[in-house]
A and B are shown apart, each in its own frame.
Chain A
């Protein structure tokens, strides 16, 4: 049975269900205990599972992730919360050097089943240090998986998959979606497999690949183009590493036109990788250059006027789609 709940409540539901299912799962982070986390995601968990399964940690991001790695070595499945995705930089070394390399340097003899949840993204008046999109750093690092749900359904299903995965998974939850992405979420144990994209809208003229908060804006733009006679297929990657190449290439074979939309900055973002892959593997299918609609190579300004200027939105995406359709 699916009922409508918010993205943020879906995350909590996944945590609670996984903690009930598996005693090795525990949550740790700043203010996650009695307070329930800066966004209320862990509300009620300490009450139900006790102090140590919903553990308040000092402001020590590196230690939060290092502790998670240590616990994973002993068969636990820690879910670490970064208060804001921006602060993940303070735990960067423990992710990219410690967790990501563990299995490789142990000669394949261990796994590192940790999840690092990070509230990311702009459009929430966050300014420079509460708006960033760090996905490319982690997609660029082998040994990690990166997921970025765009719906409440996926927020739950992907978190369950991440917790059960035997690798370090960076779970990017978009703050803009916390309450805005309300939708059906199954009550039961529904898993959204890591590595599988979802086609959010079918279309035969242009393939639009996106993820996270940009899915909403992209669907909006696609509807506008439909009224103009252009049918856009919108693919929500859901998993950024490993991204679903098969789904993207299959759609491209149908449409021959591709635009990648992301909130992350342009240079070496997912768009660059997807574009290069398409060039390498489906060059002869392309009727037009691959386009990108992204954040400029800029920091995230606080002023609403400035942020609006930088953020991709339905208008900008629709413009790109028109250019691509006319090419």
Chain B
């Protein structure tokens, strides 16, 4: 089997700093949500991506507007990177009329076609056949756009993921499958749900390349994603990128996560994607104290404004509880 060609995609200092901004914004959004849940102000199920941010930032960075993302339930950050404002996402979590769903549902169960965002149902893996469908239209229209389809290592075991990977392979559809392997599917560790170590190994069986990478290294994710995206754009079909990572919080904010050890958590915290990347930038003299402070202040301000927007937004109008059933 041919191995993935190695590319080196160059990034400017400005772009690297923008990546840092996104990492921090997404972290801050999730941290704030965590507090808001504890305060009882957000009633939605919150599936924190803290610890996994490098996957979304590394893969969504540089996407074109017409490229599509089909995220999993933990990927709120991808909505932000694709152009939804933090305020609208916060309003979505607050079930306000200004959210994407207008209060009909929370979390990531809504999307924005103009921004190339597909919001899945709760059904794990059900986004991947839809991703294949979107990719099929890119192929039919001979566009150079790509679809990024995300799923957890838990969802990797659904029939939909299998069906979608197979169809994407048969027709060489421009999909990049990104498996966020954070070891646990809710409480179940990977060794209790699959008999292989790397989800990436499955790609070969479908007839395309799979790689397993350090999902906590934003640049590693970026390089792998860019390679896969370039191949997809030029008609070479799908790739599976398995990003090894770890979620710091429980499955949701209501999960105490007693099924794992403090030592394990501490080990993964020492591989914090934000710290690692900050250190990298520091070593390369790209990140001064002033810039760091600037980014941190901008992030706090944006999250504060998002919360203020959500809290001051109106509740949905009761008259819209059963509308929009049919077009």
Contact = CB atoms under 8 A, between A and B. Distances in A.
B130 interface: yes
B105 interface: yes
Given A60-B166, A105-B119, A73 B134 contact: yes
Interface residues of A, number: 41
B126 A67 contact: no
B235 interface: no
B133 interface: yes
A66 B327 contact: no
Contact of B324 (A69, A70, A108): A108
Interface in B144-180: 159-160, 163-164, 166-167, 170
Interface stretch (A96-104, A199-207, A274-282, A289-297): A96-104
A108 B323 contact: yes
Contact of A63 (B105, B113, B132): B132
Contacts of A103: 324-327
Interface stretch (B3-11, B54-62, B96-104, B275-283): B96-104
Contacts of A67: 129-130, 132-133, 136, 167
A107 B170 contact: no
A202 B111 CA distance: 49
A196 interface: no
Contact of A73 (B113, B129, B326): B113
B109 interface: yes
Interface in A48-78: 52, 57-58, 60, 62-63, 65-76, 78
Contact of B327 (A26, A62, A111): A111
B123 interface: yes
A73 to B, nearest CB: 6
Interface string A147-167: 000000000000000000011
B104 A107 contact: yes
A26 B134 CA distance: 14
B121 interface: yes
A107 B324 contact: yes
B193 interface: no
A165 B323 CA distance: 18
B121 to A, nearest CB: 5
B109 A66 contact: no
A70 B136 contact: yes
Interface string B108-150: 0111110000111111001011111111110110000000000
A66 to B, nearest CB: 2
B129 A97 contact: no
A272 interface: no
A70 B325 contact: no
A133 interface: no
Contact of A104 (B104, B123, B134): B104
B138 to A, nearest CB: 8
B117 to A, nearest CB: 10
18 contacts: A52-B139, A66-B128, A66-B130, A66-B164, A67-B130, A67-B133, A70-B118, A70-B135, A73-B130, A78-B133, A93-B123, A93-B160, A97-B123, A105-B109, A107-B99, A108-B323, A110-B113, A113-B327
Cβ-closest 10 pairs across A and B: A70-B133, A66-B129, A67-B133, A63-B163, A166-B327, A108-B324, A60-B163, A107-B102, A111-B327, A70-B130
Given A62-B129, A70-B133, 7 more contacts: A58-B170, A65-B129, A66-B164, A69-B129, A69-B130, A107-B110, A108-B323
